[in-house]
Structure formats: C-alpha cells, structure tokens
Chains A and B, each alone.
Chain A
Amino acid sequence: MKKLFLFSVIAIQFLCSTAQTATLSEVLVRLKQYSVKDIEVTKNQPPKEVNKKVQRMLSDLEVSVELSLKEKNPPTEQMLKELVRVSVLTFKFDHSQAATELILPLYNKNQKAFEKAIRTLPKKEQEELRKSIKNTSREMIEGNG
C-alpha cells in the first residue's frame, strides 16, 4: 500500500513538472508569435487585456533567459533576436521596462552576441534598449535612490 502511494506521488510530481517546464524551442515559438497587434489598445482589446498579454510576454522572456542560462552552449542568434524584439515590444506598454531586468543576466554573459542582435532592430529602438540596459545595470549596482 505504501509503495503504491509513493509511486503515485512520484508519478503525479513527474507529470506536473513536465507540464510546467517548457523547452527552449517551445518558448522560442511563443516569442515569435508576439507582434505589435498584441500591445495595441483597441475597442476589442482594452488596456487590461493588453496588460495580460504583456505579462505573458514578460513571463516568456523570463523563462527563455532562465533556460538559456542553464544551457551549455551559448544562445542561438535566433533566440537573441527574439529576446530583443519582444523586449522592445513590451516597452510600448510597460513603461517600467521590466523586460530589461529579465534579459540582463543573459546580456552580461553574451554581450557581443546580444549587440549583434540589437543591431537588427530599428535605430530608435536600438537606442531605447541600450539606454534601458545601461540604466538597469546601474540600478543593480548603485540602487535607484
């Protein structure tokens, strides 16, 4: 009876963990699906709905970075391009620019590759992201007071 109970607990835990954990390729697919339409406030998409989508974007960015940091190999060019594109996308609605805080650990480990990915963005967005990275790095060291 005890063995059966232990086995069922382990089985449930395994199922739960596989359901929660996404792979890098799965998160990359989700990141690719985000577009400007997701952050546009319209009659059919009120601000609260946009806010939910932005929170999902931020969550996917966070998971992507966490998984990439666990990988032995450096992140792919495609992944970095999506990370910077979605980050800048969230800036249009989320003025706290939380995305930068999420991608910063990976940026610090792969600065050159990140810079290459940033150069694929339009100029204005490049400047915006670079400024945000600079501010966030300073905040982590010196604080925000």
Chain B
Amino acid sequence: MGYSKLLKVICFFLHLASLPANAQSTQNPKTAATEGQTCVGCYKQNALGPKALDMLNNINEVVLSNKQDPTQHPAILAYSQNISVIRTINHALKHKKPSSEKLCYRYVKRALKAGGLVDEYLPGVPAKEGIKDLKGKGFINLLEDPRFKNQIKTTEDAPKGAILVYRNTKDSKHPGHIEIKTDWGQRGGYVSDFYRSTETTLYNRELIGVMIKENL
C-alpha cells in the first residue's frame, strides 16, 4: 500500500511538471486569434485529426462566402452585363412617363419583350404575379435562392437589371408593383411606367421578388 501511494505522488508531480510545456505548445502568441475570428494556425498546432481540420477549414469558407459581395457572383454578373438586360433597361428608360399611370407591369412587360429577355408578352395582369410569370420564363427569385437569400434582402442589394416585385402591405387585393433596377447599388434608380431614384421610398410596399435569369 505504501509503495502504491508513493507511485501516485510521483505521478502527480510528473503531471504538474509537464503542464507548462503543454500550455506553450497550445498557445502560440504569433498565431493567436482575436475575438470573433477563427485561428486555423492555433488549432493546427493542437492534436486535432485531419477530419477536424477539414471541418474548420470548411467553416472558414462559409464565413468568407457570406461576406462576399453577391454582385460579384458569376451568375449575377453574367445577367447584369448581358446585352438583353441593357436593352431592357434602355427601353424602359426611354418610354417612362413623368409620373405613374398605374400601369407598371404593362411597361415592364413591354421592356422585357423589347430587350429580348422574354420571347413573348407576359400573360399576368397584377404586378405581384410577376414572380410566377417570370419563373415561367426561366427567371429565378434571388430572395428565395439559397445561394443569395442571406445577402440580397433590400432593393439596394438587388443587381443591375433585376426585376423587383412588391406586394401591398395593407391591401391584399391590390395588384402590387413591379420595376426594373437600372444600375448597381445606390447608383441607379428604378423604372417601370415612371422612374424613381434610390432616395425615394415606395409607400406600403414589401419587396417579394428580385428576379434575374440564369444562363442567358
């Protein structure tokens, strides 16, 4: 019994002696991460397996992609720079009226057809149904798309040439509104049967669709 106690005491002291050395190896001051950051270097020095390291690297990639500017996405760039989109915007700007004639969807439909983004005049009557009509012509709603829905939430986030669809927040029977974004971010405005700058807000309207066409 006395011998085993002595062994335990020796083991305890040996463990204490090994602690500072371990602490130095786990915390490298040069690679320490600040609050909110993930320091891959720090973890690499730990005894983590390759699977755990892969997982950490994947987490870092997801965080980075969330911070990326969605307007730099190849699908969005390809749409916004396409000649049909430019033609659509130009047609809408050329034919707009000084103020709304309450025919936003009619003017947007004409522009889409003239620009070549759709092969025929869209069938729907209320603007809020534009989402369904445009989906039928190969458009996607960026507000619903898992690749973009966390990044595109407002009209300012919408890319150049996107078709923006709104519903009336007070009256469910109201046909809603639709318009085309004329440029990136705050540079452009919005055009339908009238033009409004980014400094004006639509009253009682909620954005329900940011539509673009992939593979143009």
Q: A interface vs B, CB < 8 Å?
A: 46-48, 51, 54-55, 58, 91, 93-98, 101-102, 132, 135-136, 138-140, 142-145
Q: How distant is the Cα of A8 from the Cα of B204 in the complex, in angstroms?
A: 34
Q: Which of B121-160 contact A (CB under 8 A)?
A: 122, 124-127, 129
- A selection of 15 A-B contacts at a CB cut-off of 8 Å is A47-B200, A51-B201, A55-B203, A94-B203, A96-B196, A96-B202, A98-B204, A138-B102, A139-B102, A142-B125, A143-B175, A145-B103, A145-B105, A145-B122, A145-B126
B4-12, B57-65, B93-101 - the one binding chain A: B93-101
Least Cβ distance of B85 to chain A in Å? 21
Q: Which residues of A contact B125 (CB under 8 A)?
A: 142-145
- Majority secondary structure, B binding face: loop
What's the nearest-Cβ distance from chain A to residue B200, in Å?
Answer: 5
CA A135 to CA B106, docked complex, whole Å = 13
Across the interface, A95 reaches (CB within 8 A) one of B106, B122, B174, B196, namely B196
Q: Flag whether B79 is at the interface (Cβ < 8 A).
A: no
In the complex, the chain B residue whose C-beta lies closest to that of A98 is B203
Which residues in chain B, 6-62, are within 8 Å of chain A measured between CB atoms? none
Q: How far apart sit A51 and B52, CA to CA, in the bound complex (Å)?
A: 52
Say yes or no: A95 contacts B194, CB within 8 Å: yes
Task: Decide yes or no whether B199 CB sits under 8 A from chain A.
Answer: yes
A96 contact from B100, B122, B174, Cβ within 8 A:
B100
Chain B hits for A48, CB < 8 A: 199
B174 near A145 with CB under 8 A, answer no
Residue total for B at the interface (Cβ-Cβ under 8 A)? 31
Check B197–A47 contact: CB distance below 8 A: yes
A139 and B175 contacting across the interface, CB-CB below 8 Å: yes
Contact A144 B126 (CB under 8 A): yes
CA distance A84 to B210 in the complex (A): 34
CB distance from B3 to the nearest CB of A (A): 67
Smallest CB gap from B193: residue in A: A144
**CB of B102 to closest CB in A, whole Å:** 4
For residue A55, which residues in chain B have a CB less than 8 angstroms away from its CB? 201, 203
Specify which of B98, B129, B199 lies most central, judged by the most chain A CB atoms within 10 Å of its CB.
B199
Bound CA span A132–B100, Å: 8
